[in-house]
Structure 1
Amino acid sequence: MSTDDQKQVGCRNDCAESLTFPKQVKNRPGLTHIDYRIGSYADIREFLLRRLDREPLLAAWTHREADDPGIALLEGAAILGDILTFYQDLYANEAYLCTAKWRDSIDDLVRLLGYHLSPGIGGKATFAFGVKGSTPVVIPASFPVKAQLEGADKPIDFETIREFIAEPAFSQFNLYRPFVHPKITNNRNTFAVETAKLTLKLEKGDRLMLVKDPTESQTLRQIVVIAEVSEKLDCTEIAIEGSWQSGNVDSHAMTAYKLGRSFRYFGYNAPPTVTVVVGQNATQVPVSFVADVHPPSSTSFKKIVAEASSFNSPDAFSVSSSPISERLSDLSVQILVSPVPPIYNPALANNSFPLDQKVDDISVGSTLLISLQLSNITPTDSDSTYFFAKRIALVSVASATHGALTGGTTVVKLDTAIGTDALRYTDIRSVEFQEVVGQAFTIMSTREADITANSSQLFYYGDGFTYKKLEERSLQLVQGQQVEQVTAGIDDTLTYPDEQITLRPLTIKPSLQKLTLGDFPLEKPPKVTVYGNLVEANQGKTEPQAVLGNGDNRQVFQTFKLPKAPLTYFNSKSETPPEVPELQIYVSDRLWKRVPSLFDRGSIEEIYIVREDTNGDSWVQFGDGKTGARLPSGLNNIVAKHRTGIGAYGALKPDTTVQGGKLERLDKIWLPDIATGGEQPETGDNAKEAAPGKVQSLGRLVTLQDFEQETLAIQGVSKVAAIWGLLNYTPMVMLTVLMERGREQEINEVQQILNTYNRCRGFQRFPIYVRPGNLRHVYLDVTIGIDPTFQQPLVKRAIQVAIGVTGEEGNGIDGTAGLFGLPRRRFGEAEYETRIAATLQNVEGVMWVKVSAFGFLLGTGDDPLTLKLPATKLNPGKLICENHEILSLHTIHFQPQFVTTISIGEC
């Protein structure tokens, strides 16, 4: 034997190395991949060449290069053997369930166990409809809607589930947080008025008289000047110059008057003395500024009090206008001749007041505000000021004299007197009149957020008619990417129909979870958009009615292919398995029933089954006359009505809009939330895990493993763990279910399906409680020493696979089999620094590993991109999560540092 056929290394005696072809096939049980290949191209080529060397007749044939035809023929045989052994190994693995990789192979294998891979599921979405006009619009059932979702190659067809009445007012609107009107205190400079009750126009610069209680004569009051007027919802808000400084008001509201002109009492500015000539003597007599403003209770006349002592001529009274003459004739006026002159000429009734100017545009019935001092004796500067708001009963023009002052005046007669028997005298110099423009109105403190309110209370801004229609209406509250769907409830005491647009209370169920009351401010622009015309739709396009073929009563198990795929399925809590197709089969114009299986069915039952092939096409199969009836013979008598489309999931693609069918007064359609529920056909890996367990359970729910296997077979479920537990002191089967990311909303559907399974195929001894599981994301920093002879990018890729990072699927890195891969982890399973180091140490090319930081990320939620690293990274050596959590590592939180040194430290 030539030396070329011998291998010196590892053989002390220069013996020839034994051939590896044909390799003996030996595989221990439980392997995820079996080695069934007896040799590769190199092994077969070496075997053939060595046999050639051993042939005595060919000893002279020493050339071994491929340019020799004989050697080329041998190498061709080695290539053929390589191909055959490759496919032998591949087919051998595909022949066993635990080693199969192809979905077709897994499908064929699990069918032998009576397990069928779940078909694709259609998605569901809630669309918001915007309609125009002032009357409702009816959205019919099966109304077509088309939306381009993220990740989808083409727009997806949806159809509305049921008829819906859309209100124009609920297309898009806003809600507001609960509020209070605080009590008015000093230093307040903003006020509000209900716009609907405001009958006059308020502008910057207008004067207002703010009065706590106009029925009290010594109430708190203040004249203010408007600095700014703005509209806010149903209120007109007023900012004043300065602030309220008249004291704290034990209420949130006051009475306000818009002021026009200001007047004084006629004669308030008269000279303090008057010259009186008696005979040949001229005397300076003081002028009285005291007036009696309240009628006496015991006499029918009034006294005109004078402080002078030398006046005795009643002829000094002169009446220059007929209205005054007529009015004076009606009054019981008795002038007491005394040395004290009357205060006015002519004398006036107690509830009549002359103004300091002559005006002709004061209206009877308007309000006059009066501020003056009152006393039971001669008033002094220290007397308190009193306030009265009176209506004008009569207006007249007169010429009056007070002391040395004579002039024209407008006399106003009030509807009621002011003052009391004890407080009847005033100093006319203290009297002020304020003309009121329009009617009095109520002014309030501006609204402020109610910090004591709970998150189930909001306010709707609208009229009573639309408010009543909010009862039990579904609403979507949208702010950016955050969406909450709630049901509204109204206050029954406020359901009377009215057209006043105001804030009306709503109760929402459930209370706010993602949003807060702070997202519903009382000012505009609002932060949250509310959609009230919500219409549920599911995926699927209704295809034209199709003729499948002819029935032939002579044939058994007739099978027909549906003309278009994929057939739409939806989960149903009343079916086992839960996937139900959107399909109706009519045989000779009669509707036949779909069943899960023909096994153990009656011979005359008009039934059929539906199956999907590996290409996704759907086939309808009928009975053989023993298990299900045969088809009656007929021409084109097998007709199908079906819908197509599966897998709708995700949010609306940016910069795209929802397209709807033709509908009068339809304005726009929105998809605020994501489409959910859509699933592609079940993967082979999931079937490999679920099928054996379902076979072992024999279709019954007995053990905890039975519950786990049935749950895992439901589309959208990624991980499940079942335990016996107590909830509110009630024993039950507690299932922790981890849904695929983004499908947490479908957890209730899983609960309903399992409840049906428990009733139909379980003992119903214990209730089932499904609680959502979640991923607990961690960070990991490691320093890794690599062999300098290995390429660092390849080593890093192998490390990411071994550690099981997520987020690298787009780069072709599958970490599902790694340490943090979901299939390898259990709920509540802890992780250790030492196991991490050992896992990485086993990667080819890694020399040593040091874990420098390992801990939990900060924040909540399943999206690792929204979580934050702690300010100080720690390394506790061990991380323990809750029993409803699974540890997960995203690629952005895995920070390996590579060094090319061979060792670190002493060891």
Structure 2
Amino acid sequence: MKHTNCGCCAGIQLRSPIKIINRAGLSAIDYRIGDYNDFKASLLSKLTVSQLETLKKLTTRSDDDFTIALIDAFSILSDVLTFYQERIVNESYLRTATERLSVAELAAMIGYELNPGVAATTYLSFTLDESSMQPGAESIRKIRVSGNENPIVNMVEGVKAQSVPEQDEEPQVFETVEDIDAKSDWNSMLVKSFVEQENLASSSIIYINGINNNIKKGDQILIVEGGNKKVRKVNKVDLLKDIDTTEIFFTNLPLLTAYLPVFQWFPMVAYYAEPFALSSGTVSGIIGPLNKVSSYELQSALTIQNWSPYEFKTSVNSSKPVQNSEIKVYVFRNRAALFGYNAPKKITNIAANGNVTTTEHVIAETINEITLDAEYVEITSGDDGYIALKKPGDSEFTTYKISSSELVPQTKYGISGKSTKIKLEGSPAWSLSNMAQLRSSIAYNQSEKLGIALKPITSPLEKGTTKIVLSKFYVDLKVNQKILISGEVNDWPGVIRTEIHTIQEVALVDKYTQIITEKGLENSFVRNTVRINANVALATHGETVSEVLGSGDARMFFQKFELKHIPVTYVADNSASGSSSSIAIRVNDILWKEVPYFYGRQPDDHVFTVRRSNEGKTTIRFGDGVHGSRLPTGKLNIRAVYRKGIGSSGLLKSNQISQLISKPLYLKTVNNPVAPEGAQNPEEIEDARRNANLSIHTLDRIVSLKDYENFAKSFAGIDKAKSVWLWSQGGKIVHLTVAGANGSEIEENSKLFDNLSGAIQKFSYPGVQLHIQSFRKRYFRIVGNLNVGEDYVFQKVHDQIVEKLRNAYSYKNSQIGKNIHLSEVISIIESTEGVNYIDIDQLFITGGVEKLEKVLIAQIINASNTTITASELIMLDPSPFTFNEI
């Protein structure tokens, strides 16, 4: 018999405790010293090898034996205990924990609080109803009320507005978080779209009031400017129906650009020692010459002179220049010849052979007097009676005023007929030297005066523009006031966009309000479609609630209370975490302060801490009398005011918030022209696992290049970040590319962008130049052939592959600046059960050349002398795709 090492005769042996070995980097660790089978086998083996005589007598191994049943029970107990022991151990490490509570408690050990989320932010624009305004409301304050002056409505913080929910949505409440002054004048301000026409005689285009002037190509237009008179021939006519204006084009003259005056200012109004009455003469005589008046100088003038802002505004707007009255435009309705133009020549001799000899008549015309070839009853004399005459050989018409006009019968030059005799005024004197001139002269008459329109400014409000001139004078606009600018995009007909801007400077310029914004326009707008609303307030998601927490008890230390409503609203700010709570606690009507922890607080400090449970409940805790003050004894003396509502439910569409909940007097409508942004749900476990360590790296300060990236990643509302050094003309700068929650872009004029920039500047090394940009999205596509095993259904395997690829290359699992490798794509596909092999034919960036690339490069910033382009994040193209079966 041959002996082997098969172990068949070994019998039952000890199988627990199992030796535990875990390599580094595991997402889960083994910690069980055995399971049910291991424990039962080990106990049974103990019976066999035991040195105790009593146990040796227990020879049966049947499960219905009491001893074996007891062993079985202890084996089950050990199995359960070791299972939970392993789970507890896994929950004790940040990498392996699977419960949010475990991650939260582990993070708290290093001073990191899971981000509670942040409320969406937007700007609400309000419309005031002027027709319903009545005095006497507490929310109204008037300044020098006079006549029909529109009052300033002081809208205090906390005005509530609600969204109109779409399918499967709930109404969301937003509240304003700042006080603003509002006026009905500011509902829809227009930009200056017209200027006075100048140099009409030499312009290639002029504008006339109305569209029913019956002007057509070939008509002659007379332009009178002072003593100069010019006749122009119409080449083209356009009817501008939207502004009730006729646009007339002339020939052979260059097109002039719109005239805008150069503004200068001589500050004199505010410094008159003695007040004087405000009148039209004051505006035209004193205000008129002062082309530019800053808002500060204007307010000084109003105060010193004791002028009503309303009366001043009305006077300025009513005295704004109209078209220069010295300039007049006429159209000639009739073209005529001079009497005698068709007269036969005088016969002087008839020869025997019948030949006739003729000679011209002797000219018989009076200087500065003409006779037209027919009766023209419409011709008038006086200020608006003009006639334009042109002799053969003249390059231009000579224009005269008509002194008198009469219908007379005429017999001259061998003919008789009706005529119109006209006496002329003006120089040079009109005379004819021969009949040839008379026969070929032209007379345009029946001048009809036209109304001169203001010239429309056809140029758009260009992208990058900061200086905007409004259509009239608007009183009370202030520096740092927010405005919403809406209009049709110039190169995208029908598309309306809205931008939020801040007024940097406001002035009265040439009797118009001029505003200068802090940043240039992001779009180019069609000028006459632009509307500006200055009744704008910052608002955040969440509704204010007030509750009594309970009664204070000076005998208790670390007394705590739980808020009734969840979730508590946290709003974005420029702190290290990027958010702060909306909780305000008053004890005996005295406001106490929220702090992150009690360490270092004095016994009499009125402070409290806020802690959030895994279920989202919020607990308020007060001090113990050593670190922070205890609560004073009282009955129901602890009150809380806070807001409820947070997260992505506040990411609504533009114009969706349109229902007023609270309605101050005069307030008519509300809207959100800009979609809410910056919202973030409470921090999920994977984000917390990542961000908890980042807080240790930065310790709320930014020194190294990586610190900029880590700080941004842990900032509320920011999901991904990439920092790089960049050399620019100004030297070395830090370039930071960021991405918002759920792949949203971070607009440069958004509150989140400002908060992040402000926080980095606050906690970073002074003097370091920083450039922040939102990431750029790019997509890639895959084309290939797939072979699966004979026992598998192709479509099911195919669908599993598509799902795995979409998950692997989704926004959540992609990183800014990460390249896409062909080998990685193949590895994901071939790891799917049932796949024999995959043949990739094409791997390319969407919109690029459709070919097979081994690596798709994610561009990490692209800087030129003039522009800097943000880093890219590459994801799988969301459009459907399939692999061919082979």
TM-score normalized by the length of structure 1: 0.69
Asked whether the 8 Å contact 1:203–1:229 carries over to 2, the reply is no
SS in 1 for 2:635: strand
Distance (whole Å) between structure 2 residues aligned to residue 722 and residue 250 of structure 1: 53
Distance (whole Å) between structure 2 residues aligned to residue 353 and residue 426 of structure 1: 16
Please say if 1:890 is aligned against 2:868: no
Q: Match of 1:325? A: none
- Encode CA deviations 1:492-535: one digit per residue, 9 max, x unaligned: 785415xxxxxx9987764454x4x4x6387xxx6x87666443
Asked whether the 8 Å contact 1:176–1:520 carries over to 2, the reply is no
SS in 2 for 1:635: coil
- Encode CA deviations 1:281-301: one digit per residue, 9 max, x unaligned: xxx99783624454xxxxxxx
Which structure 2 residues correspond to residues 14-93 of structure 1 after superposition, within 5 A? 24-37=19-32, 86-93=83-90
Match of 1:852 among 841, 850, 853: 841
Asked whether the 8 Å contact 1:137–1:665 carries over to 2, the reply is no
Measured after TM superposition, the shift of residue 590 of structure 1 is 1.6
Which residue identity lines up with residue 140 of structure 1 in the other structure? M
SS in 2 for 1:751: helix
Distance (whole Å) between structure 2 residues aligned to residue 250 and residue 352 of structure 1: 35
Please say if 1:155 is aligned against 2:171: yes
Match of 1:411 among 421, 437, 444: 421
Q: Match of 1:582? A: 582
Distance (whole Å) between structure 2 residues aligned to residue 784 and residue 723 of structure 1: 40
- Encode CA deviations 1:730-766: one digit per residue, 9 max, x unaligned: 45655444433114133432221122223xxxx6575
Mark the CA change 1:654 to 1:45 in structure 2 (over 3 Å): closer, same or farther.
farther
Structure 1 stretches lacking a partner, 5+ long: 1-7, 276-283, 295-349, 374-381, 498-503, 809-814, 859-869, 901-907
Please say if 1:753 is aligned against 2:759: yes
Q: Match of 1:570? A: 571
- Over aligned residues, Cα RMSD in angstroms? 5.4
Q: Match of 2:333? A: 260
Q: How many pairs are equivalent?
A: 762
Q: Match of 1:281? A: none
Match of 2:483 among 434, 449, 474: 474
Asked whether the 8 Å contact 2:380–2:405 carries over to 1, the reply is yes
Q: Match of 1:837? A: 826
- Encode CA deviations 1:213-269: one digit per residue, 9 max, x unaligned: 89999977447797x744243732369xxxx7xx62356599863233455444545
Distance (whole Å) between structure 2 residues aligned to residue 365 and residue 662 of structure 1: 59
Asked whether the 8 Å contact 1:782–1:895 carries over to 2, the reply is no
Mark the CA change 1:212 to 1:897 in structure 2 (over 3 Å): closer, same or farther.
same
Please say if 1:675 is aligned against 2:690: no
Mark the CA change 1:261 to 1:832 in structure 2 (over 3 Å): closer, same or farther.
closer
Q: Match of 1:248? A: 252
Q: Which moved more, 1:229-238 or 1:42-51?
A: 42-51
Which structure 2 residues correspond to residues 35-434 of structure 1 after superposition, within 5 A? 35-37=30-32, 86-133=83-130, 138=153, 140-141=155-156, 142-148=158-164, 153-166=169-182, 171=187, 193-195=207-209, 201-203=212-214, 208-210=219-221, 221-222=232-233, 229-233=239-243, 235-237=245-247, 248-250=252-254, 257-269=330-342, 272-273=345-346, 288=361, 290-294=363-367, 350-351=368-369, 353=371, 356-357=374-375, 359=377, 362-373=380-391, 383-384=393-394, 387-396=397-406, 398=408, 400-403=410-413, 405=415, 410-419=420-429, 427-434=437-444
Match of 1:436 among 432, 438, 446: 446
- Encode CA deviations 1:448-485: one digit per residue, 9 max, x unaligned: 769xx953359989742359969976334466586544
Please say if 1:739 is aligned against 2:740: yes
Mark the CA change 1:871 to 1:358 in structure 2 (over 3 Å): closer, same or farther.
closer
Measured after TM superposition, the shift of residue 659 of structure 1 is 0.9
Please say if 1:874 is aligned against 2:852: yes
Q: Match of 1:686? A: 687
Which residue identity lines up with residue 580 of structure 2 in the other structure? V
Which residue identity lines up with residue 643 of structure 2 in the other structure? R
Which residue identity lines up with residue 543 of structure 1 in the other structure? V
Asked whether the 8 Å contact 1:693–1:709 carries over to 2, the reply is yes
Mark the CA change 1:508 to 1:658 in structure 2 (over 3 Å): closer, same or farther.
same
TM-score normalized by the length of structure 2: 0.70
Asked whether the 8 Å contact 2:737–2:772 carries over to 1, the reply is yes
Measured after TM superposition, the shift of residue 594 of structure 1 is 1.9
Asked whether the 8 Å contact 1:193–1:442 carries over to 2, the reply is yes
Distance (whole Å) between structure 2 residues aligned to residue 844 and residue 41 of structure 1: 31
Distance (whole Å) between structure 1 residues aligned to residue 71 and residue 198 of structure 2: 100
Q: Match of 1:298? A: none
Which structure 2 residues correspond to residues 554-569 of structure 1 after superposition, within 5 A? 554-569=555-570
Mark the CA change 1:419 to 1:488 in structure 2 (over 3 Å): closer, same or farther.
farther
Distance (whole Å) between structure 2 residues aligned to residue 252 and residue 696 of structure 1: 63
Q: Match of 1:805? A: 807
Q: Match of 2:316? A: none
Distance (whole Å) between structure 1 residues aligned to residue 246 and residue 639 of structure 2: 67
Asked whether the 8 Å contact 2:785–2:838 carries over to 1, the reply is yes
Distance (whole Å) between structure 2 residues aligned to residue 755 and residue 106 of structure 1: 30
Measured after TM superposition, the shift of residue 804 of structure 1 is 6.1
Distance (whole Å) between structure 1 residues aligned to residue 655 and residue 805 of structure 2: 38
Which residue identity lines up with residue 401 of structure 2 in the other structure? R
Asked whether the 8 Å contact 1:206–1:258 carries over to 2, the reply is no
Measured after TM superposition, the shift of residue 555 of structure 1 is 1.3
Measured after TM superposition, the shift of residue 433 of structure 1 is 3.5
Distance (whole Å) between structure 2 residues aligned to residue 234 and residue 84 of structure 1: 89
Which residue identity lines up with residue 585 of structure 2 in the other structure? I
SS in 2 for 1:687: helix
Distance (whole Å) between structure 2 residues aligned to residue 534 and residue 386 of structure 1: 58
Measured after TM superposition, the shift of residue 428 of structure 1 is 3.6
Mark the CA change 1:459 to 1:623 in structure 2 (over 3 Å): closer, same or farther.
closer
Q: Match of 2:625? A: 625
Distance (whole Å) between structure 2 residues aligned to residue 775 and residue 407 of structure 1: 86
Distance (whole Å) between structure 2 residues aligned to residue 556 and residue 367 of structure 1: 100
SS in 1 for 2:601: coil
Which residue identity lines up with residue 583 of structure 2 in the other structure? L
Measured after TM superposition, the shift of residue 673 of structure 1 is 2.3
Which residue identity lines up with residue 715 of structure 2 in the other structure? I
Mark the CA change 1:154 to 1:367 in structure 2 (over 3 Å): closer, same or farther.
same
Distance (whole Å) between structure 1 residues aligned to residue 833 and residue 16 of structure 2: 27
Asked whether the 8 Å contact 1:289–1:429 carries over to 2, the reply is no
Asked whether the 8 Å contact 1:562–1:619 carries over to 2, the reply is yes
Q: Match of 1:456? A: 464
Distance (whole Å) between structure 1 residues aligned to residue 70 and residue 796 of structure 2: 37
Measured after TM superposition, the shift of residue 627 of structure 1 is 0.8
Measured after TM superposition, the shift of residue 103 of structure 1 is 0.9
SS in 2 for 1:805: helix
Which residue identity lines up with residue 883 of structure 2 in the other structure? Q
Asked whether the 8 Å contact 2:193–2:456 carries over to 1, the reply is no
- Encode CA deviations 1:117-157: one digit per residue, 9 max, x unaligned: 12222221112334454857736132211125779842221
Measured after TM superposition, the shift of residue 202 of structure 1 is 0.5
Q: Match of 1:781? A: 783
- Pair member with larger Rg: 1
Asked whether the 8 Å contact 2:781–2:846 carries over to 1, the reply is yes
Asked whether the 8 Å contact 2:336–2:443 carries over to 1, the reply is yes
Asked whether the 8 Å contact 1:567–1:643 carries over to 2, the reply is yes
